[in-house]
Amino acid sequence: MRLRLTLPILLVLAFFATFQSHASDLALVGAKIYLSPSEPPIEIGTILVHSGRVLSVGPIAEIKVPRGTTVIDCKGLVVTAGFWNSHVHILLPGLLHAENLSSGQISSQLQQMLTRWGFTTVFDIASVLQNTNLIRHRIESGDVKGPRILSVGEPFWVKGGTPIYVKGFLEANHISIPEVESTAQAKERVRQQIGDGADGIKIFANSIERDEILTMPLDLAQVIVSEAHSAGKPVFAHVSNNQGIEVAIQSGVDILAHTTPSDELWSASFAQRLAAAHMALTPTLTLWDVESKKGNASPDDVEKGMSRAAQQLEAFSRAGGQVLFGTDVGYIQQFDTSEEFKWMSRAGMSFQEILASLTTNPAQRFGYSTRSGRIAKGLDADLVILSADPAQNSSAFSQVRYTIRGGQVIYAEK
């Protein structure tokens, strides 16, 4: 009697186990899919997601959607891997003092600034580490909807080098960021911040002050960079001029946080030096537009400054330098990314190059290539659904219909 019952039960269990292994939580059906910048797109395809990862991806005819799966109809839409913004700041009043903010308030601010634009991972390159840690903890626990946040925490600037344009903001928000007094103190602070969870370090190779631009001494930059590198962490440098770029190159900085439109244009050989130093660049072209308008520059001067920044990006990109999409959002409040894409195109960057700056380049640079940056079986289900094809017009990169992180919809257009 017992045996006769056991066999059917075993068969049912075996069947159920097989069924389970093919179950999926979410299916994106009918999209044009860009798997990565270098692979040809799937014209009409399906992506199945299970437990936060891509379970399978292929042409629509080859992927069967299991019963019970939530389906997003992607007919006429375009899917790419989730975007990275490698230059943001978790500093807006709507994100500071997060212990006093509700989940809804933080989610809403992160949505307006980041997830609504397709960002599933961001690198915060100056904020209050304790506050950013609290926000990312609330995101990872599921309390808040947001992107993966990597952070450098508090930046390093020389004595007297707190930038003029942040002094008022820091005071108004009761934030104090120490100025570096000595190499010994800098070294200790690098250790401390990395111990507290920082994923990188940011130096101000130049600090803009009222009447001058200060440059960080090379020996100080070298100590900070080598301490960060010995912990396996990348170093970003804010630069405003060629002197600052020299300090960045000679100290071994990994990422330039800006172009330098107020200094000389970048010659081909200068750009090749940057590329040979394995330097990456976040262009932040929108920042220059916002700042020069804030300073009441004439439309003609705004245009001149923008074309200088675009020339520098173009020289860097043509030299084979690694471009990481980055806008300085959180310092600027222009959340819309369309202008940045327009300027990247005007700097001669192709669709594939811009997509790489949003996906594969940052994933590679920051050690996430095995899980992020492409759409492939087993990788994180970090996906962006666009309403138009960015291969036709780069502004489509800003026309986001859904943002999905780890298989969860973290933004859906209303």
Minimum CB distance to Zn ion smaller for 258 or for 401: 258
The site that binds Zn ion (CB under 5 A) totals a number of residues, namely 2
Whose CB is nearest to Zn ion? 328
How, if at all, do strands 78-81 and 213-215 pair?
unpaired
Least separation, in Å, of the C-beta of 284 and Zn ion?
7
Tokens encoding 368: 């996430």
Of 56 and 259, which has the nearer Cβ to Zn ion? 259
Indicate the residue among 156 and 331 with the shorter CB distance to Zn ion.
331
Task: Measure the CA–CA gap between 25 and 238, rounded to whole angstroms.
Answer: 42
Stretch that binds Zn ion, among 76-84, 174-182, 321-329, 338-346 (CB under 5 A): 321-329
Q: Min. distance of Cβ 127 from Zn ion in angstroms?
A: 10
In angstroms, the first-to-last Cα distance of the chain is 59
Q: How far is the CB of 288 from Zn ion (least distance, A)?
A: 12
Among 328, 340, 380, 382, interactor with Zn ion by CB under 5 A: 328
**What whole-number distance in Å separates Cα of residue 24 and Cα of residue 7?**
28
Minimum distance from residue 358 beta carbon to Zn ion (Å): 18
| Site for Zn ion, residues 331 to 350, rule: CB under 5 A | 331
Choose the stretch contacting Zn ion; rule: CB under 5 A; options: 61-69, 116-124, 268-276, 326-334: 326-334
**Looking at beta carbons only, is 254 or 328 nearer to Zn ion?**
328
Q: Taking the complex as a whole, how short is the minimal distance between the CB of residue 317 and Zn ion, in angstroms?
A: 20
Stretch that binds Zn ion, among 135-143, 147-155, 220-228, 329-337 (CB under 5 A): 329-337
Least distance between Zn ion and beta carbon 332 (Å): 9
Could you tell me the smallest distance in angstroms from the CB atom of residue 151 to Zn ion? Answer: 13
Which C-beta is closer to Zn ion: that of 144 or that of 255?
255
- Type of residue found at 113: M
Q: CB under 5 A: which stretch of 14-22, 268-276, 312-320, 330-338 binds Zn ion? A: 330-338
Binding region for Zn ion (CB under 5 A) out of 53-61, 172-180, 322-330, 374-382: 322-330
89/233 with CB nearer Zn ion:
89
Could you give the CA distance from residue 308 to residue 306 in angstroms, rounded to a whole number?
A: 5
Q: Which stretch binds Zn ion (CB under 5 A): 18-26, 58-66, 325-333, 366-374?
A: 325-333
| Identity of the residue, 326 or 390, whose beta carbon is nearer to Zn ion in the bound complex | 326
154 binds Zn ion (CB under 5 A): no
Classify the C-alpha dihedral 265-269-270-274 as positive or negative: positive
**To the nearest whole angstrom, how small is the minimum distance from the Cβ of residue 254 to Zn ion?**
16
The residue (of 72 and 290) whose beta carbon lies closer to Zn ion is 290
The nearest distance, CB 400 to Zn ion, in angstroms, is 23
Pick between residue 221 and residue 404 the one whose CB is nearest to Zn ion: 221
Which residues make up the interface to Zn ion (CB under 5 A)?
A: 328, 331
